[in-house]
Structure 1
Amino acid sequence: MSGDDFGTVHWPTEIRLKKEEKRLEVDFDDGRTFSYPAEFLRVVSPSAEVQGHNPSQKQTVAGRRHVGIMRLEPVGNYAIRIVFDDLHDSGIYTWKYLYEIGTEQESLWAEYLEELQAKGLSRDPRR
């Protein structure tokens, strides 16, 4: 069986952190390239702090419009830890997760914006 039990795992061939643009770009071995805004990566963090321990505990992270990425840290050969400038650093972004959120970025972002609106929250930080 190739990949894992849930389908093929695509491996990154290049990862580019564009700090000034607050963006992460990842090229995968199937030729696809995804460009992730830091804000998007922060609000879909796979951390327990954001995702909870079950779907009912998922948090809507607001006020991160201007968040940046301070650094990337390798986690074995299967993932990276992203350290954001709001000091969030507990999410482990596996290659599989990065690929999935890359392919679903448009719908995930739309869902996030709907959640913010429904909860009366904003992308802008509180003053």
Structure 2
Amino acid sequence: MAGDPEADRFSTKAWPVEIRHKKSEKRLEIDFDDGAKFSYPAEYLRVESPSAEVQGHTPSQKKLISGRRHVGIMKMEPVGNYAVRIEFDDMHDTGIFSWKYLYELGVDYEARWQAYLNELDTKGLSRDP
């Protein structure tokens, strides 16, 4: 249905052409077909996981995830042709990262990361376990 936010959640304008899991660096790198290239720290992906466990069901329900500085990616598996499920070494594995969401995470990295750090500081929490 046009304009349906649920349907729009997985629609994408840019498709990944190369995905690299840099296990020792705890990073995921994605090159998109529009020329955009992003390098995501595993910690960033973990704290921004699209799972209901992290995001809740409304923006006001989003949970602040602390203590994940050293988290890594154990494995990834494709979900259809629109997403990837990432399993982190803290056993979180319920987030389905659409290409659209990964692209947004790349574009918005600086602002999202700073907002995360600010919220940790405000609440007296740490990136360390």
TM-score (norm 1): 0.92
Amino acid at match of 1:25: E
Q: Given the alignment, which residue of 73, 93, 96 partners 1:92?
A: 96
Question: Partner of 1:104 in structure 2?
Answer: 108
Q: Distance in 2 between matches of 1:123 and 1:21?
A: 17
C-alpha RMSD over aligned residues? 1.7
Contact between 2:120 and 2:126, CA under 8 Å: does it hold in 1? yes
Q: Distance in 1 between matches of 2:60 and 2:34?
A: 34
- 2:124 pairs with 1:120: yes
Q: For residue 8 of structure 1, report the CA deviation from its aligned partner.
A: 5.2
Q: Given the alignment, which residue of 42, 54, 66 partners 1:62?
A: 66
Q: Distance in 1 between matches of 2:32 and 2:61?
A: 31
Question: Partner of 1:50 in structure 2?
Answer: 54
Question: Partner of 2:4 in structure 1?
Answer: none
Which structure 1 segments of 5+ residues have no match?
none
Partner of 1:26, secondary structure, is: strand
Which structure 2 segments of 5+ residues have no match?
1-6
Which protein is richer in helix relative to its size? 2
TM-score (norm 2): 0.91
Q: In the comparison of the two structures, how many residue pairs are matched?
A: 123
Q: How does 1:7-86 map to 2 (within 5 A)?
A: 9-86=13-90
Kindly, what percent of the aligned residue pairs are identical? 70
Q: Distance in 2 between matches of 1:106 and 1:37?
A: 12
